[in-house]
Amino acid sequence: MQISIELTERLEAFARLKGVHNAQIVEQALDRFLCLNGGSVDEDPLLKRLNSIENQLNRVEHNLKIVSEVAALHVRYHLTVSPPLAQSEQRAACQIGFARFEVFAEQVGRRAAQDQPLLQETINRLSTTGRDSSGDDVEIYTTSAVSKPDQDAAAVVKAEPELAAVAQEGDGNGNFRTRLQNPFC
């Protein structure tokens, strides 16, 4: 077996640095090379890590697809069930929307800080209870877009079987508005 002069010099320098014989380095290098090209790939720590990263990315992609579908279904639902509002009602609706969004953002922040997402928590609960969603021991957060000075905007309520939405209407009409001239108010 012959190797180039440059590679021989590098091998000898490395062997001196490590305090081992050239043959030991060559044997380990050949063993590793042959394992990577013909043996079990899982033995290489770098490849194990890359496989782990690939699995994580696959889970992220799967979860992103779920989030995209949830968002699309939510938007489609609201666009199909929400009647347009008169111009005179749009300012009040914007104020209600801002109050709802503040409650929503606070809840997203709180849920994001938890270890288990709400959707997964709900799926787990439904699979263990056989779809018994009676509302027992469920914390419900409600808000009124028309808040009074002595009330909090969001209050925790232990719910009986009746579940409330994240943010309630406040005007009692049950509709969220669409087709605003200025959607950002």
- pLDDT at residue number 64: 94
Domain membership flag for residue 146: yes
Domain membership flag for residue 156: yes
pLDDT digits 0-9 by tens, 30-43: 888 887 666 554 56
Domain membership flag for residue 27: yes
The answer to whether 127 touches 112, Cβ cutoff 8 Å, is no
**Distance of CA 45 to CAs 17, 24, 37, 157, 173, Å?**
24, 21, 15, 51, 61
Is the overall model pTM greater than 0.85, yes or no?
A: no
Domain membership flag for residue 160: yes
20 lies in which domain range? 5-39
User: At 4, which amino acid appears?
Assistant: S
Domain membership flag for residue 159: yes
Q: Which band of pLDDT confidence, cut at 50, 70 and 90, is reported for residue 4?
A: very high
161 in the same domain as 97: yes
Domain membership flag for residue 129: no
Question: Domain count of the chain?
Answer: 2
98 in the same domain as 162: yes
User: How far is Cα 6 from Cα 20, in angstroms, rounded to an integer?
Assistant: 19
The answer to whether 92 touches 171, Cβ cutoff 8 Å, is yes
pLDDT digits 0-9 by tens, 121-169: 888 899 988 655 555 554 444 444 444 434 443 443 333 333 434 444 3
Domain membership flag for residue 25: yes
User: At 51, which amino acid appears?
Assistant: N
161 in the same domain as 99: yes
pLDDT digits 0-9 by tens, 43-97: 678 888 999 999 999 999 999 999 999 999 999 998 888 888 899 999 999 999 9
Domain membership flag for residue 11: yes
163 in the same domain as 95: yes
Residue 78 has phi, psi (to 5 degrees) of -65, -35
